[in-house]
Amino acid sequence: MDMKVTKKKLGLKEKYKLLTRDLGWETTYQKKDDVFPYVGYEGIKIHDWDKWEDPFRLTMDSYWKYQAEKERKFYAIIDAHAQNNGHLNITDARYLSALKIFLQAISPGEYAAHKGFARVGREFPGVGTQVACQMQAIDEIRHAQTQIHAMSNYNKYYNGFHAFADSRDRIWYTSVARSFFDDAMSAGPFEFMIAIGFSFEYVLTNLLFVPFMSGAAYNGDMATVTFGFSAQSDEARHMTLGLECIKFMLEQDPANLPIVQGWIDKWFWRGFRVLGLVSTMMDYMLPKRVMSWREAWEIYGQENGGALFKDLARYGIRAPKGWNDAEAGIDHMSHQFMLGLYQWSFGTAFHSWIPSDDDMDWLSAKYPTTFDKYYRPRWNHIKKLAAAGTPFKNFGLAKLCQTCQLPVVFTEPDDPTMACHRETVYKGEKYHFCSDGCQDIFANEPEKYVQAWLPMPALFQDPFNGDIGAWMNWVSLKDGVDNGDFVGSQDQMNFEKWRGMATSNK
Amino acid sequence: MSTVFIALQTNEETRPIIDAIVIDNPLAVVLREPAMVKINAQGRLVIRRETIEEQMGRDYDLQELQINLISLSGYVDETEDTLTLYWNE
C-alpha cells in the first residue's frame, strides 16, 4: 500500500480530544443515572470517567480509513483464492475439520461479541469508552462476516460447512463457545468487559488466532490466514481496551479489587475451557503443525499471561485461581478431548480420525511425559478395533458440565488416570461439573447457571425421545456425509480426486 | 524483567518496519514464523516513526501499523513520533 500521508493540522492527542472526548455531553432534562441505569448494580465504583485513557487514540475518521484498507487486502486475497482453486492447495482434507469447528463455534462468537459491545457501548457513561466499544462492535461484526465469507468458498466443495447456524444453536461441542458468550452478554457491562475485553482478548485470543493462523499458512490455506490476521489486527486494539478497562477499575476505587479479581478467576477458567477445542485443532487437526498446544501455551499463556499478572500485582491482583489447574491440564487436554471427539464422531459435523504412526511420534516428542504413557496405548487399541472392522463408537453420553457445557472428559489435575467429576445439589436438583473451577463458578451464581440450556438433554426430550436420526435432522447433520471417520469420507475422496485432476491432464 | 512483543504480518510493507524496529531496539529478538514475524524485547520496545520513514523512503503515519499488526503485549503509549510497549514492574 502506498498511502498518502497528509500534513497534519492537529496533533494526535488534540485530534483525539476533539473527535472523541468532545462528543460527550452532560444530561440536563434527565438524570444521568436514568440515562445509564446499568452501570452501578455490579458494585464497581467510578469517580471520574475522564481518567479513562485510550492508548491508541484512534479517532473514527482514521478508523474507517484503516479498516477499509484491511477489507481491500482481505477481498483481494479471497478473490484470488476462489479464482485459483485455493481449496486444493491445502495440505490435505483433514485440515478442513479445524475450519469447520472454527465456523461452527468461533465465528458465531464474533457475532455475539458484536452484539455485546454494541450494548455496553450504550451502557457506559464515559465517552472514550463509548467510542472504543463502538469501534469494537463494528470490528466484531466484520470478523463474523469475513470469516463466513472466506469459508463459503469451502462450502462449495466440502461437507459440514452448510449449517453452521444450526450447529451453533444445537450441537454439543459448539455450545461450549456459545454458553461462554451468552454468559458474558447476560452479565453487567463491567463484567462483560472483563469477560471479552480482558480474559478473552488479552489472555486467550493470542492462543486462538496467532499460532493457529500461522498454522493455516503452513497448511496452504490463504483464505483463513487472511481472515485470521485481518481479524487479529483489530484484536491488538481490543486487548489494549481490555487492559485499559481493568487498570481503570482498579485505579478508580480500591473497593473494586475483590470484584475484579472474582471476574478474572471466573473468566480465565471459562476461557480456558473454550480453548479445549483449540488444543485439538492445533495438536491433531493441522496436518502440518507449527507448534504444539503445549508450546503455544508456554509463549502466550505462561510467559505473556504471567507478565501481565506480575504487572497487575501492584494493584493487588493475583494470577487467576485456576492457573495451576490449567498448567496441570496442558499436557493432557488435547489428547483427552480428541479421544472424546473420535468416540462421539457420529454426532459431530466434522470428521475425526485415528492419528497415524508419524503423528503419534510427533505427539510423543511434544508430550514426552504423557503421550506414550497414557494416550498412545488408547489410540493403538482404537486402531486395532478399527482394523478388525469394529470401530470404537460410544453411543452413551457423558454428563455435561453445567457451567462450561463440555462433556466431563478431563481427569483430576493430580491424577491423569482418574476422571474428574464434581456434583452440587442446589434446591433439590443435582448438577454436574468437569472441574473445581466450573463448580466454583456455579456456586457463586447458581440462579444464573440453573437456567443454562444444555445441548444433549434435547436428544431425550420430546419430540426426539432418544431417536438419534431425528436429532441429526434437527442439527442439520447428514449421517454418513458430515460426520464420522475421515478415512473413507466424501471429503477425503473428493479432495484427492480433484487435486489429481488439478495436477494432471486426465 | 518480563517480555513485551509485537507481531506483524510478513509482507513487503512490514520489511522496512521490522528493519527499523531492529535498528532502534538492537537487543530485540526477531522470530520469523510462517506468515508472521514476532519481535520480543525485555521490558520495553520503542518503535520510531523517523526510523521507519528512513527505511521505507516515504512519509509514514504510525497508525498505519494497525493494518499489518497481528498482536502485541504490554501497555501501549502512542504519540505521533513513537509507539512504546512496556511493563511497569
Cβ atoms of residues A195 and A267 within 8 Å? yes
Q: What distance in Å separates the CA atoms of residue A342 and residue A354, rounded to the nearest whole number? A: 8
Residue of A nearest to B73 (CA): A304
Q: Does one domain contain both A306 and A192?
A: yes
Look at A15 and A439; give whichever has higher pLDDT.
A439
Per-residue pLDDT tens digits for A141-190:
999 999 999 999 999 999 999 999 999 999 999 999 999 999 999 999 99
Cβ atoms of residues A486 and A353 within 8 Å? yes
Q: What distance in Å separates the CA atoms of residue A174 and residue A153, rounded to the nearest whole number? A: 22
Cβ atoms of residues A370 and A331 within 8 Å? yes
Cβ atoms of residues A270 and A322 within 8 Å? no
Residue A412 falls within a domain, yes or no?
A: no
Q: What distance in Å separates the CA atoms of residue A473 and residue A478, rounded to the nearest whole number? A: 7
Range of the domain at A213: 37-46+62-353+466-503
Instruction: Please count the residue pairs, one from chain A and one from chain B, whose beta carbons lie less than 8 angstroms apart.
Output: 105
| Cross-chain residue pair A237–B66, CB shorter than 8 Å | yes
Identify the band that residue A427 occupies on the pLDDT scale cut at 50, 70 and 90. very high
Cβ atoms of residues A280 and A334 within 8 Å? yes
Q: Does one domain contain both A316 and A365?
A: no
**pLDDT confidence of residue B68:** 92
**Per-residue pLDDT averaged across A8-16, rounded?**
79
**pLDDT confidence of residue A504:** 84
| Cross-chain residue pair B67–A307, CB shorter than 8 Å | no
Alpha-carbon gap: A93 to the closest alpha carbon of chain B (Å): 20
Identify the band that residue A4 occupies on the pLDDT scale cut at 50, 70 and 90. low
| Cross-chain residue pair A243–B34, CB shorter than 8 Å | no
Q: Does one domain contain both A383 and A482?
A: no
Identify the band that residue A57 occupies on the pLDDT scale cut at 50, 70 and 90. confident
| Cross-chain residue pair B73–A5, CB shorter than 8 Å | no
Instruction: Count how many domains chain A has.
Output: 2
Q: Does one domain contain both A383 and A306?
A: no
**pLDDT confidence of residue B28:** 97
With CA atoms as reference, report the closest residue to B85 among A239, A324, A257.
A239
For residue A489, the number of C-alpha atoms closer than 13 Å in the C-beta half-sphere is: 28
Q: Does one domain contain both A306 and A213?
A: yes
**pLDDT confidence of residue A479:** 95
pLDDT surpassing 90 at residue A502: no
Residue A375 falls within a domain, yes or no?
A: yes
**Per-residue pLDDT averaged across A129-139, rounded?**
94
Q: What distance in Å separates the CA atoms of residue A402 and residue A201, rounded to the nearest whole number? A: 24
**pLDDT confidence of residue A213:** 82
Chain A environment of B66 (Cβ under 8 Å): 56, 58, 66, 233, 236-237
Residue A411 falls within a domain, yes or no?
A: no
Q: Does one domain contain both A299 and A381?
A: no
Q: How far apart are the first and last CA of chain A?
A: 41
Residue of B nearest to A74 (CA): B67
Q: Does one domain contain both A70 and A179?
A: yes
Q: Does one domain contain both A97 and A167?
A: yes
Residue A25 falls within a domain, yes or no?
A: no
Identify the band that residue A7 occupies on the pLDDT scale cut at 50, 70 and 90. low
**pLDDT confidence of residue A505:** 83
Residue A260 falls within a domain, yes or no?
A: yes
**pLDDT confidence of residue A5:** 63
Chain A environment of B78 (Cβ under 8 Å): 12, 55-57
**Per-residue pLDDT averaged across A44-68, rounded?**
90
Q: Does one domain contain both A304 and A345?
A: yes
Give Rg (Cα) of chain A. Answer: 24
The backbone torsions φ and ψ at residue A311, rounded to the nearest 5 degrees and listed phi first, read: -70, -40
| Cross-chain residue pair A236–B74, CB shorter than 8 Å | no
**pLDDT confidence of residue A338:** 96
**pLDDT confidence of residue A15:** 86
ipTM comes to 0.90
Per-residue pLDDT tens digits for A273-309:
999 989 999 999 999 888 999 999 999 888 888 999 9
pLDDT surpassing 80 at residue B89: no
Identify the band that residue A54 occupies on the pLDDT scale cut at 50, 70 and 90. confident
How far does Cα A171 stand from its chain's mean position?
16
**pLDDT confidence of residue A450:** 97
**pLDDT confidence of residue B1:** 80
**pLDDT confidence of residue A132:** 92
From residue A13, alpha-carbon distances to A269, A396, A482, B80 in Å are 37, 61, 53, 9
Nearest-CB residue to A5 (from B61, B68, B75): B61
Q: Which CATH number do you get for residue A283? A: 1.10.620.20
* Sign of the dihedral defined by the CA atoms of residues A450, A451, A452, A454, in that order: positive
Look at A53 and A371; give whichever has higher pLDDT.
A371
- Tell me which of A371, A391, A411 is where a domain ends: A391
Q: Does one domain contain both A90 and A239?
A: yes
Cβ atoms of residues A285 and A94 within 8 Å? yes
Question: Average pLDDT of chain A?
Answer: 92
**Omega within 30 of 0 (cis) for the link into A455:** no
| Cross-chain residue pair B71–A236, CB shorter than 8 Å | yes
Give every CB contact of residue A243 below 8 A, 6+ residues apart in sequence.
Answer: A198, A202, A308, B75
Residue A253 falls within a domain, yes or no?
A: yes
| Cross-chain residue pair A229–B35, CB shorter than 8 Å | yes
**pLDDT confidence of residue A146:** 94
**Per-residue pLDDT averaged across A72-89, rounded?**
91
Per-residue pLDDT tens digits for A238-283:
988 998 999 999 999 999 999 999 999 999 999 999 999 899 999 9
- Tell me which of A391, A416, A444 is where a domain ends: A391
Q: Does one domain contain both A314 and A333?
A: yes
Identify the band that residue A432 occupies on the pLDDT scale cut at 50, 70 and 90. very high
Residue of A nearest to B66 (CA): A233
Give residue for cell 460426520: A483
With CA atoms as reference, report the closest residue to A178 among A106, A252, A229.
A106
**Per-residue pLDDT averaged across A75-84, rounded?**
91
Domains of chain B are 3-86 (3.90.56.10)
- Tell me which of A391, A410, A444 is where a domain ends: A391
- Whether the CB of B81 is below 8 Å from some CB of chain A: the reply is no
**pLDDT confidence of residue A218:** 87
Q: At what angle do helices A257-280 and A174-185 cross, to 10 degrees?
A: 160
Q: Does one domain contain both A333 and A385?
A: no
- 3-class secondary structure, B31: strand
- Residue B43 burial by Cβ neighbours in a 10 Å radius (0-12, 13-18, 19+): middle
Give every CB contact of residue A269 below 8 A, 6+ residues apart in sequence.
Answer: A320, A321, A322, A326, A435, A437, A438, A441
**pLDDT confidence of residue A201:** 85
- 3-class secondary structure, B70: strand
Q: What share of chain A in percent tops pLDDT 90?
A: 73
Residue A308 falls within a domain, yes or no?
A: yes
Give Rg (Cα) of chain B. Answer: 12
Residue of B nearest to A201 (CA): B71
pLDDT surpassing 80 at residue A9: no
pLDDT surpassing 90 at residue A376: yes
**Per-residue pLDDT averaged across A39-64, rounded?**
91
Mutate to test the interface with B, among A5, A6, A233 (most CBs of B within 10 A): A233
Identify the band that residue A2 occupies on the pLDDT scale cut at 50, 70 and 90. low
**Per-residue pLDDT averaged across B29-33, rounded?**
94
